[in-house]
Amino acid sequence: MATSLRDTDDDLLDDTDTDSAVAVDAMELLQADHDEVKQMFEEYEGLMADEAGEDERQELATRICNALTVHATIEEEILYPAARGVPACERLVDEATVEHASAKALILEIESMSPSMPLFDAKVAVLGEYVSHHIDEEEEELLPQLANAGIDLDELGEELQDRKLELMEELGMEGES
Ligand SMILES: [Fe+2]
Ligand SMILES: [Fe+2]
C-alpha cells in the first residue's frame, strides 16, 4: 500500500539517522537501561557462584557502577525534573531521589574498593537489591504516570539519549547503547 513512500530506500537512509543513534522514546530507553543493568547484576551473581577471579569481578563491578552512574545522572538531570511537572509524580520523584542517593553512596564505596576486600561482593549484591526495587517502582509507578500525563516521550528520549552518549564518552565507556 504505502510503497510509494519508500520507492528508494537508499535515498531515505542517506538522509536520516546516519550521524546519530536511532530515535528512541524515553520509556524504551529507560527500560533498556534497566534491563541491561539487571542482566549485569545477574552476571555478577554467576561470578560469585563460580568463585570467579578478582579481575573478572572487578571488570564487571566497574561496568555496573559506570552504567548506573550514567543512568542515574540522566534521570536526575532530565527525567525527574520533567516528572516534577506532573503532580501525581512528585512523591514518587522524592522517593526516587532518596533511593538514588543511597545507591550512589554504595557505588562510591564499591569504586573505592577492590574485590579482595571484605564485603566487596556483598556490597555489589546489596546494590543489586536496591536497584531492582528502585527499577520496579520506576517501571510500575513513575513511568506509567508520566506516559499518562501527555509528556512528549520522543523529545524526552532524545534528550536522555544525547546526554547518555555524552556521559558514556566522559567515562570512557564503549558504545553499549
Ligand atoms: Fe532511577
Ligand atoms: Fe531508572
Render pLDDT for 23-32 as a digit per residue (tens, 0 to 9).
789 999 999 9
**Ligand 1 center from residue 19 Cα (angstroms):** 29
Task: Give me ligand 2 centre to Cα 11, in Å.
Answer: 37
Provide the CATH number for the domain around residue 149.
Answer: 1.20.120.520
Q: Does a structural domain hold residue 12?
A: no
Q: How far is the CA of 154 from the centre of ligand 1 (A)?
A: 19
Q: What spacing in Å lies between the alpha carbon of 12 and ligand 1's midpoint? A: 36
Longest C-alpha distance within the chain, in Å?
65
**What whole-number percentage of the chain has pLDDT above 70?**
86
Q: What is the DSSP string of 22-47?
A: PP--HHHHHHHHHHHHHHHHHHHHHH
CB contact set of 88 (below 8 Å; sequence gap of 6+): 145, 149
Main-chain dihedrals φ then ψ at residue 171, nearest 5 degrees: -85, 0
pLDDT for 175 equals 61
CA of 159 to the centre of ligand 1 (A): 16
- Which one of the ligands is nearest to 104 CA? 1
CA nearest 113: which of 60, 63, 58? 58
Asked if the structure places residue 15 within a domain, the reply is: no
Q: Which domain holds residue 50?
A: 24-170
For residue 23, the model assigns a pLDDT of: 75
Separation of 104 CA from ligand 1 center, angstroms? 11
Nearest to 88 by CA among 146, 167, 137: 146
Evaluate whether residue 2 is within a structural domain.
no
- 14 is a domain residue: no
Residue 86 lies in a domain: yes
Q: Specify if 102 maps to a domain.
A: yes
Q: Ion ligand 1 — residues with CB under 5 Å?
A: 75
What is the Å distance from ligand 2's center to 93 Cα?
11
CA of 138 to the centre of ligand 1 (A): 7
When divided into structural domains, the chain yields a total of 1
Q: Percent of the chain having pLDDT more than 90?
A: 82
- Residue 162 falls inside a structural domain: yes
45-58 pLDDT per residue, tens: 999 999 999 999 99
Residue 39 covered by a domain: yes
Ligand nearest to the CA of 99: 1
Whose atoms come closest to the Cα of 31: which ligand? 2
Give the global pTM: 0.85
